[in-house]
Amino acid sequence: KNQVEQSPQSLIILEGKNCTLQCNYTVSPFSNLRWYKQDTGRGPVSLTIMTFSENTKSNGRYTATLDADTKQSSLHITASQLSDSASYICVVSAEGGYNKLIFGAGTRLAVHP
């Protein structure tokens, strides 16, 4: 069964600190993996997208990594800001005739001053 699992479920850090969010997936055959940021009451916004051949992708203070062998991805946030407080959702798409996005449950990050 295609699944995406994220950890931790929630995380609290202090402003200026770094953090890493994890995503494990069992989606096969794999097409690509996206990290989305969802602010409270808003729709998800794409941060990064990686295909099978890419193992790292950066977007400002956000850096995503992908290990296609172990089917793991991480999202590293550097020098966190209060505006980073949001849910971060890992989304994997599968190859095939009827492609769909498989969503993780998300990690809820709170950045405190």
Partner 1 sequence: SAVISQKPSRDICQRGTSLTIQCQVDSQVTMMFWYRQQPGQSLTLIATANQGSEATYESGFVIDKFPISRPNLTFSTLTVSNMSPEDSSIYLCSVGQTYYEQYFGPGTRLTVT
Binding residues for partner 1, rule: CB under 8 A, are 31-32, 36, 41-46, 49, 89, 93, 99-101, 103-106
14 or 45: CB nearest partner 1? 45
41 or 113: CB nearest partner 1? 41
Minimum CB separation from partner 1 for residue 79, in Å? 26
For residue 27, report the phi and psi dihedrals to the nearest 5 degrees.
-70, 130
43 or 113: CB nearest partner 1? 43
A 10 A CB-CB count for 61 gives 13
Torsion 100-54-75-26 (CA) sign: positive
